[in-house]
Structure 1
């Protein structure tokens, strides 16, 4: 079971790294974090592709710091409750996705499948890259793979 430290509620860096507290869920914090990313996605969705891409890049760069600092402070590499990487991975999945709840759900499922199964190169990044970049990179790769599949579905459905 996930044990969130009390600092999640006191330290704004930890609070963000724990996905606005969603990573404190005692069960499936990665899934809870991805669910918590959906309302924020709905706010991002109206942006132009350039604006959305800029938010993704900024979220990734900030995430390297947030996740790395929280991980170091906790003394645990990639604590299960650190879910900012899930936020960014899901938002990557949803880049240029068509509007509608069907696509939001498909994107959610695709991202979670790639994030949980970690096919190569996701598994390689998860094991070989350390620090905040390592925490972020496997979810970015999962998001890119889920994005590719989602866009193929858009074309062929």
Structure 2
């Protein structure tokens, strides 16, 4: 992980190196870091700044996942979790402020769509490769999780 700065980012500052469910571990890291940063420095980690961090982080993530995938010899290596981190930060940004239980269900919804990859998520996962492909399918999974929450709030 420490051989290249892209690896540190793509592998979620080490959270993707978990031997068991690295994607879930990366998403848990996203949740913890979002809550800690937003609580500890609320004037710095405002919704506007989170939006900027997510957009910039997405584009940097395309590069980091491209480099890391090439260096590891696997385009979408399981240890690369920056895609989960950025996507779940987006979910949390649009769901919070919310009680812990609501955040938990957002976590479950996101992980479901990211792991199961129902259409069209699975299509995008197969169609797009490289850093863009790694990042894009998780953004689509985040949109599906947010759609579930939007429908849930309507009812």
Same-fold call, TM cutoff 0.5: yes
Aligned length: 149
Alignment pair present for 1:130 and 2:129: yes
Distance 1:116 1:9 in 2: 27
Match 1:17 to one of 5, 10, 21: 10
Alignment pair present for 1:51 and 2:49: yes
The equivalent residue for 1:114 is: 113
Match 1:79 to one of 69, 77, 80: 77
1:85 Cα deviation after fit: 0.3
Distance 1:106 1:96 in 2: 13
**What is the TM-score of this pair, normalised by structure 1?**
0.87
Question: What is the DSSP-based 3-state SS (H/G/I as helix, E as strand, rest coil) of the residue aligned with 1:20?
Answer: helix
Alignment pair present for 1:27 and 2:25: no
The equivalent residue for 1:5 is: none
Summarize deviations over 1:1-48 as a string: whole Å, max 9, x none. Answer: xxxxxxx13432211111110110111110111011112211248544
Gap runs ≥5 in structure 1: 1-7
Summarize deviations over 1:134-156 as a string: whole Å, max 9, x none. Answer: 00011010011111212333343
Match 2:32 to one of 39, 56, 77: 39
Distance 2:153 2:66 in 1: 35
Higher helix share goes to which structure? 2
The equivalent residue for 1:141 is: 140
For the structure 1 residues 115 and 30, does the alpha-carbon distance in structure 2 shift closer, same or farther, using more than 3 Å as the test?
A: same
**What is the TM-score of this pair, normalised by structure 2?**
0.88
Summarize deviations over 1:34-90 as a string: whole Å, max 9, x none. Answer: 011112211248544433322211111111011111001111110001000000111
The equivalent residue for 1:93 is: 91
Gap runs ≥5 in structure 2: none
